[in-house]
């Protein structure tokens, strides 16, 4: 997964945490994410998205709406509450990234 600047996301999973490496031109940064599930995992995934964009989420009746604002537009994607309850933050983050790419918000 990349954006216009050529950054790539490299994922590595250890027993206790996930490490997300963002590789760009001449630098590499990483973020350690503990393996949670449910709303705590959603909060961690939103926090990761918030490093690059303005992000907010809210719980609706059957899904979470995640709103992402980039420099040009505002995008909204939804994730089913049942999926959030059994997913960890890496799965939620990946799902959000996929959905945001499909609606035109390049990550």
Domain boundaries, the chain: 8-102
pLDDT in tens, the chain (107 residues): 444 444 444 444 443 344 444 444 444 444 555 567 888 889 988 998 888 889 999 999 999 999 998 888 899 999 999 999 998 888 898 898 898 888 887 65
Task: Identify the H or E element spanning 44.
Answer: helix 39-49
pTM recorded for the entire structure: 0.64
11 DSSP β-pair partners: 20
Give dist(CA 103, CA 31) in Å, integer: 26
In this structure, what are the phi and psi dihedrals at residue 53, rounded to the nearest 5 degrees? -140, 165
The SS3 assignment for 55 reads strand
The pLDDT, as a whole number, for residue 10 is 41
């Amino acid at each position: 997964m990349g954006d216009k600047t050529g950054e790539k996301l490299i994922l590595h999973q250890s027993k206790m945490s996930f490490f997300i490496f963002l590789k760009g031109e001449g630098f590499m940064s990483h973020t350690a994410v503990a393996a949670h599930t449910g709303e705590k995992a959603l909060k961690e995934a939103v926090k990761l998205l918030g490093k690059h964009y303005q992000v907010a989420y809210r719980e609706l009746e059957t899904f979470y709406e995640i709103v992402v604002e980039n420099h040009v537009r505002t995008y909204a994607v939804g994730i089913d509450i049942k999926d959030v309850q059994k997913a960890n933050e890496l799965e939620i983050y990946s799902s959000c990234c996929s959905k945001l790419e499909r609606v035109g918000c390049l990550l």
